[in-house]
Amino acid sequence: MNSKAIKNNTILLVDDEEGIRKVLKITLEASGHHVFLSPDGESGLNTFIQENPEIVITDIKMPGIDGIELLKRIKNLNPETEVIMITGHGDMDLAVKSLKYEAADFITKPIDIVDLESAIKKAQDRISITQNISRYMDDLENLVEEKDKKINESQQLVTIGQTIAGMSHAIKNIAGGLKGSTFVLEQGIDQENREYLKQGWEMMKGNIDKITKLSLDLLNYAKTTKLDFKLENPNTPAREIVQLMTHRAKEKNIVFKLTPCKRKKLVLIDCEAIHNCILNLVTNAFDSFDELLGSTRNKTVNLLVKIESNHIEYSVQDNGCGINDTLAISILNDFITTKGMNGTGFGLMTTKKIIQEHNGTINFITEMGKGSRFVIKIPLKTTRD
Ligand SMILES: Nc1ncnc2c1ncn2[C@@H]1O[C@H](COP(=O)(O)OP(=O)(O)OP(=O)(O)O)[C@@H](O)[C@H]1O
Ligand SMILES: [Mg+2]
């Protein structure tokens, strides 16, 4: 990440049309912004590294490094930067692609200054919210350092702070996706283009699913009510997941196999909660192949249920992309996602919480490029007392 502090109220405008650069610079400076100009992606990136502006406005179509590539590199250097994309008629596919890399907003050519100012204002509001959260986090961390005696309480506050920070990121992602869907829908309506309407509607539905999942995850995570422990067949939640995911496995060309436990024994678990945990692990395993575009490997995911002498074991093994060392340290404890708009980073945190409430453990082994195996172990209890 770029270590330099973001300069407030600065905008980098990257556009290969000199006319647009000139007019926008005059207009934006008149409304009090400090503006840097670049005629192409390459020099835009250099200016970005030197000046660290808070907002970048870039044309989507440019020779050399185009707007999407620029967006991608800027987000890599400093994810907090808000990038507004300028799109022309017929750039819809590019606009949709840029959503994946967390573009903040879209402005269509010919540029309407009122729209542009409103997009800038919204981007600035988002930046100040993020900065406030990070200041809040710093304060909490200081609190922890200062108050040795109250360390437990303070750490809880830090966890809450991290949860809020992660949540706001997840919500921001979904809001971005909804914004993108409305943009595609509006273009579909303006241009009477059925294809865009269909595309926008699909995106909208996807984002509604995401917000539904996020609110369920949040509820699960925040739930303080006791789990509903009952004597159950340990294979039941695993079989439910197979039913639920078999269709998706076929679509994604994944061989998804369950090896159920053969011992006929009822165990004390909260079946619904364990269902959610396995679902999270299996979904992650399915997603682990998305990074391997173009690979010809036979994709397999194995779900295994075992009863050992003193614990029940659920394991999910994939031969997908694996997890790098840096990521591996935090995925079970922090809101971390590498899936951009398609993930919230909630899955493993919620899973760990549920397993801990069963007095169990969750661990994993992984190798980059080869795959991962997540293992849940729950102490074996076969009576209610
Ligand atoms: N089986 C796996 N293979 C590769 N990477 C994984 C696997 N499981 C988890 N990860 C990595 O850990 C990250 C966090 O996983 P987690 O389930 O908490 O969140 P998510 O899948 O990104 O989003 P969500 O589950 O909330 O939709 C993922 O984004 C991914 O990078
Ligand atoms: Mg997940």
For 100-121, write each residue's pLDDT tens digit.
Answer: 788 888 888 888 888 899 899 9
Measuring from atom 29 of ligand 1, which residue has the nearest CA?
A: 337
Share of the chain above pLDDT 90, in %: 48
Residues 329 and 363 placed together within one structural domain of the fold? yes
> Residue 378 above 80 pLDDT?
yes
Give the helix/strand (H/E) hosting 253. none
Asked if residue 384 is part of any domain, the answer here is: no
Asked if residue 287 is part of any domain, the answer here is: yes
| Domain final residue, candidates 170, 195, 220 | 220
Give the pLDDT confidence score for residue 158 in this predicted structure.
66
State the CB neighbour count (10 A cutoff) for residue 108. Answer: 18
Check if 350 has its Cβ closer than 6 Å to any atom of ligand 1.
no
Check if 78 has its Cβ closer than 6 Å to any atom of ligand 1.
no
Residues 207 and 348 placed together within one structural domain of the fold? no
Q: Which residues contact 300 (CB under 8 A, 6 or more apart)?
A: 254, 255, 256, 257, 318, 319
Residues 321 and 179 placed together within one structural domain of the fold? no
pLDDT band at residue 162 under the 50/70/90 scheme:
low
Overall number of domains in the chain:
2
Question: 366 vs 249, 292, 317, CA distance in Å?
Answer: 21, 16, 10
- Residues around the ion ligand 2 (C-beta < 5 A): 284, 347
Q: Which amino acid is at 128?
A: S
Residues 246 and 337 placed together within one structural domain of the fold? yes
Check if 319 has its Cβ closer than 6 Å to any atom of ligand 1.
no
| Domain final residue, candidates 191, 220, 249 | 220
What are residue 378's DSSP bridge partners? 312
Measuring from atom 3 of ligand 1, which residue has the nearest CA?
A: 288
Residue 292 DSSP symbol: G
Taking the C-alpha atoms of residue 212 and residue 203, their distance in angstroms, rounded to an integer, is: 14
Contact 376/314 with Cβ under 8 angstroms? yes
| Domain final residue, candidates 189, 220, 251 | 220
Ligand nearest to the CA of 349: 1
What are residue 362's DSSP bridge partners? 376
What are residue 36's DSSP bridge partners? 12
Dig out the tokens for 37 from the structure: 């100009």
What ligand 1 atom has the least distance to the C-alpha of 332?
Answer: 18
Residues 209 and 311 placed together within one structural domain of the fold? no
Q: Which amino acid is at 35?
A: V
pLDDT band at residue 3 under the 50/70/90 scheme:
very low
Residues 61 and 98 placed together within one structural domain of the fold? yes
Check if 280 has its Cβ closer than 6 Å to any atom of ligand 1.
yes
Residues 245 and 122 placed together within one structural domain of the fold? no
Asked if residue 329 is part of any domain, the answer here is: yes
Check if 331 has its Cβ closer than 6 Å to any atom of ligand 1.
yes
Asked if residue 2 is part of any domain, the answer here is: no
Asked if residue 290 is part of any domain, the answer here is: yes
Torsion from C-alpha of 6, 11, 13, 18, nearest 10 degrees: -140
What ligand 1 atom has the least distance to the C-alpha of 285?
Answer: 1
Q: Which residues contact 131 (CB under 8 A, 6 or more apart)?
A: none
Check if 220 has its Cβ closer than 6 Å to any atom of ligand 1.
no
Asked if residue 66 is part of any domain, the answer here is: yes
> Residue 71 above 90 pLDDT?
yes
Measuring from atom 17 of ligand 1, which residue has the nearest CA?
A: 347
CATH of the domain at 105: 3.40.50.2300
Read off the pLDDT of residues 326-372 as tens digits, 9 standing for 90 and up: 999 989 987 788 887 677 788 898 899 889 989 999 999 999 999 99
Measuring from atom 13 of ligand 1, which residue has the nearest CA?
A: 337
Read off the pLDDT of residues 194-225 as tens digits, 9 standing for 90 and up: 988 998 898 888 888 888 777 777 776 766 55
Sign of the Cα pseudo-torsion (94, 98, 99, 104, in order): negative
Residues 112 and 93 placed together within one structural domain of the fold? yes
Taking the C-alpha atoms of residue 301 and residue 303, their distance in angstroms, rounded to an integer, is: 7
Check if 343 has its Cβ closer than 6 Å to any atom of ligand 1.
yes
Taking the C-alpha atoms of residue 359 and residue 173, their distance in angstroms, rounded to an integer, is: 33
Check if 353 has its Cβ closer than 6 Å to any atom of ligand 1.
no
Query: Domain residues for 53?
Result: 7-220
Check if 336 has its Cβ closer than 6 Å to any atom of ligand 1.
yes
Asked if residue 225 is part of any domain, the answer here is: no
Dig out the tokens for 253 from the structure: 């060309």
Q: Which of 216, 283, 287, 316 to mutate to test the pocket of ligand 1 (most atoms within 8 A of CB)?
A: 287
- Nearest residue to 376 via CA among 276, 254, 293: 276
Ligand nearest to the CA of 339: 1
Give the pLDDT confidence score for residue 126 in this predicted structure.
81
Residues 286 and 372 placed together within one structural domain of the fold? yes
Check if 351 has its Cβ closer than 6 Å to any atom of ligand 1.
no
Question: 157 vs 126, 136, 151, 370, CA distance in Å?
Answer: 23, 10, 10, 38
Secondary structure of residue 297 in the 3-state scheme: coil
Question: 299 vs 245, 260, 376, CA distance in Å?
Answer: 15, 20, 22
CATH of the domain at 311: 3.30.565.10
More confident residue, 182 or 313: 313
Taking the C-alpha atoms of residue 39 and residue 73, their distance in angstroms, rounded to an integer, is: 17
Residues 216 and 234 placed together within one structural domain of the fold? no
Check if 338 has its Cβ closer than 6 Å to any atom of ligand 1.
yes
Give the pLDDT confidence score for residue 4 in this predicted structure.
55
Q: Which amino acid is at 118?
A: S
Ligand nearest to the CA of 170: 1
Asked if residue 79 is part of any domain, the answer here is: yes
Ligand nearest to the CA of 321: 1
Question: How far is the centre of ligand 1, averaged over its atoms, from the C-alpha of 337 (Å)?
Answer: 6
Residues 248 and 178 placed together within one structural domain of the fold? no
More confident residue, 307 or 176: 307
pLDDT band at residue 1 under the 50/70/90 scheme:
very low
- Position of tokens 């999407």? 68
Residues 196 and 254 placed together within one structural domain of the fold? no
